[in-house]
Structure 1
């Protein structure tokens, strides 16, 4: 049952609204002042507000302004009830953020029609916003792992890079590459390789803080930006990740034996580099050294202040 809050300083008007709307199947709560109405919005969480404009102390425009400024109830549908039919007044109601208005005196048939129309529009708008969020998420997420894709990683990491440059706070960048991934695909099949990527993505995410930025930037290559972190702190994180991964049994041979999955990691701390791309190159150099030294290891780029 849809709950409606009616705010009006005249008890007689509230009684008419309550009785008439309850006959139409709505649940109705009432408030005789703007301040009481704002309290009931927090307490009762109505799905729509009927708001009288001409009230003492706090008029309808002021109440509506408070609703629109609310983080929790900012999109709450509001229909203004007003006896002032001047165009300037009706225009002000809409400019203040009202979803619709009804002029007094009104018929309940017209009022109910406007209520249902506003509720339907609000429902459609919220569904559209959810769909847009899903599309935006798909555009920024790697489908295989659920991590950020390459574009999204660089956008967010670059923002953190600029903050660290201006604030002087430390920052660390890491590039990770699953070792011998082609052999995994060739031996166990691409489906198994996909499962390894997915499992590794989850493990990587679980080792990081909520505000760390992590993405899949290539086939079996991942990148992490760790704000407010020294390079050696990042080294310790990825060493724990690396040893944990090496102990997990992600792949099993036909004879029942397991195939170890390992990762190589290159880490670099914030330097005097002017661009994030240059810092990524340094991390990639450390990764290259890790692979040349036998893989399954974490290397911090030398010559960088930790």
Structure 2
């Protein structure tokens, strides 16, 4: 996987060294020698990831990172701080500024490439979510994308650790900020992870009876936990396993002995990023639903009908099984709108949809075609049965007045219905056209009736 990496360092030899290492791994490299230049490059969208030196004249790396993470246009950019400072307090300061990781000079080349690849994957996923969310927001079908990462505290964490002393230290560090569940049994941990909504899973690589990396791999393969951040706890000698974990999709790691402030900072970083990604996914999901759902009635719309019906007709043709459709049109609906207002008309449409849905089978598909016209698709249903269902629907609509204006009055409503059957082997347009012709026969014959059209 390639990516555009921005390397920021005021010392030219350091800049050239990192550029050479990354270029050898087929990354595209952009360089900057000061904080302002780096901010401008990021704001123009010319990089996917930032390797940021801490000690620079003027604006140091901490300030550059803070500005990147406070800007809605750049807050999703992964930032790795590169520094000669190796104290825990320095790492915590960087993480609190919003950095995704810390690399200490002299830089381990293998660790550098593993971390860059891992964060590049994360960035590409985030870009796709942002692009879809921005498109949806611009079309007005979902909320605007979030413009901040949020606080990152609160929520639930699962800790998979069978060392009692280690588990207790972590619990003490996180207490008051997160609700932490501890699971010492690795097999049970996988079940526990899928049963509750965790915002972070912390996995020890030093489990006595199970490979911690296997847990990480299994968590990544399960739908329920695929997007949950994973933080590994490792020992100094676990270097190769750490790199392997990053390749498997683990988000971050901590090397023992674990500093309380650092695990809090890393947990906060992962939780903030997850909440941001979840908000983007929610926007995308909302847009997908709105694309196929009629907002007034909650039924599927015409776009969904066309795709669904095509699949059913192909199945009907392969298995010689019938499929029937009903087209329903509310009689004199324009008069309802003209007499009582469009709000009353909306009430009628919602009540109508609920009544019809109550009278058809659970496996039938009801859609709103537009206006006062609806369609019910009935798999494995012959014409005679579909007509009987149509008669049941017609009676349910006609026999009880519809309350409008918040129940202040009730009006009589009737529906005309056309029904047709297909065994496949024709287009959906031809199939629906026959039902539509039957509907016109119902209307021309006095309305409030059901008419069937044979194939």
TM-score greater than 0.5 by the shorter chain: yes
Instruction: Please say if 1:286 is aligned against 2:423.
Output: no
What does 1:72-151 correspond to in 2, within 5 Å?
A: 72-83=224-235, 89-151=241-303
TM-score (norm 2): 0.59
Q: Aligned partners of 1:192 and 1:214: how far apart in 2?
A: 22
For 2:7, the equivalent position in structure 1 comes to: none
Q: Structure 1 residue 15: deviation in Å? A: 3.4
What does 1:194-213 correspond to in 2, within 5 Å?
A: 194-213=346-365
For 1:157, the equivalent position in structure 2 comes to: 309
Q: Structure 1 residue 216: deviation in Å? A: 1.5
Per-residue displacement from partner, 1:12-65 (whole Å, max 9, x unpaired)? 43333233333x644444344422433544677654321112435421121122
Aligned alpha-carbon RMSD (Å): 2.8
Instruction: Please say if 1:174 is aligned against 2:326.
Output: yes
Q: Are residues 169 and 82 of structure 1, via their aligned partners in 2, closer, same or farther at CA, if it must alter by over 3 Å?
A: farther
For 2:379, the equivalent position in structure 1 comes to: 227
Q: Are residues 97 and 291 of structure 1, via their aligned partners in 2, closer, same or farther at CA, if it must alter by over 3 Å?
A: same
Once structures 1 and 2 are overlaid, which stretch shifts more, 108-117 or 54-63? 54-63
Q: Structure 1 residue 118: deviation in Å? A: 0.9
For 1:4, the equivalent position in structure 2 comes to: 157
Instruction: Please say if 1:247 is aligned against 2:405.
Output: no
Q: Are residues 296 and 14 of structure 1, via their aligned partners in 2, closer, same or farther at CA, if it must alter by over 3 Å?
A: same
Q: Structure 1 residue 286: deviation in Å? A: 1.3
Once structures 1 and 2 are overlaid, which stretch shifts more, 49-58 or 236-245? 49-58
Instruction: Please say if 1:193 is aligned against 2:345.
Output: yes
Q: Secondary structure at the match of 2:370?
A: coil
Q: Aligned partners of 1:26 and 1:283: how far apart in 2?
A: 59
Per-residue displacement from partner, 1:125-158 (whole Å, max 9, x unpaired)? 2222222222222222223322222222212222
Per-residue displacement from partner, 1:145-204 (whole Å, max 9, x unpaired)? 222222222122222222232233321111111112233333333333332222212222
Query: Would the aligned equivalents of 1:7 and 1:51 in 2 still touch at CA under 8 Å?
Result: yes
For 1:217, the equivalent position in structure 2 comes to: 369
Q: Aligned partners of 1:107 and 1:249: how far apart in 2?
A: 70
Q: Structure 1 residue 292: deviation in Å? A: 2.1
Query: Would the aligned equivalents of 2:292 and 2:304 in 1 still touch at CA under 8 Å?
Result: yes
From 172, 183, 190, the equivalent of 1:38 is 190
Structure 2 stretches lacking a partner, 5+ long: 1-153
Q: Structure 1 residue 271: deviation in Å? A: 3.0
Q: Are residues 271 and 28 of structure 1, via their aligned partners in 2, closer, same or farther at CA, if it must alter by over 3 Å?
A: closer
Query: Would the aligned equivalents of 2:157 and 2:181 in 1 still touch at CA under 8 Å?
Result: yes
- Give the total of aligned pairs: 299
Q: Aligned partners of 2:424 and 2:393: how far apart in 1?
A: 28
Query: Would the aligned equivalents of 1:49 and 1:78 in 2 still touch at CA under 8 Å?
Result: yes
Per-residue displacement from partner, 1:105-139 (whole Å, max 9, x unpaired)? 34222211010111122222222222222222222
Per-residue displacement from partner, 1:219-240 (whole Å, max 9, x unpaired)? 2211111122222222222211
Instruction: Please say if 1:20 is aligned against 2:173.
Output: yes
Q: Aligned partners of 1:152 and 1:292: how far apart in 2?
A: 30
Q: Secondary structure at the match of 2:371?
A: coil
Q: Aligned partners of 2:185 and 2:160: how far apart in 1?
A: 6
Q: Structure 1 residue 280: deviation in Å? A: 0.5
Query: Would the aligned equivalents of 1:287 and 1:299 in 2 still touch at CA under 8 Å?
Result: yes
Q: Secondary structure at the match of 1:17?
A: helix
Q: Structure 1 residue 87: deviation in Å? A: 7.0
Q: Aligned partners of 1:147 and 1:45: how far apart in 2?
A: 29
Higher relative contact order (CA 8 A, sep 6+): 1
Once structures 1 and 2 are overlaid, which stretch shifts more, 160-169 or 215-224? 160-169
Q: Aligned partners of 2:411 and 2:180: how far apart in 1?
A: 65
Q: Aligned partners of 1:154 and 1:285: how far apart in 2?
A: 18
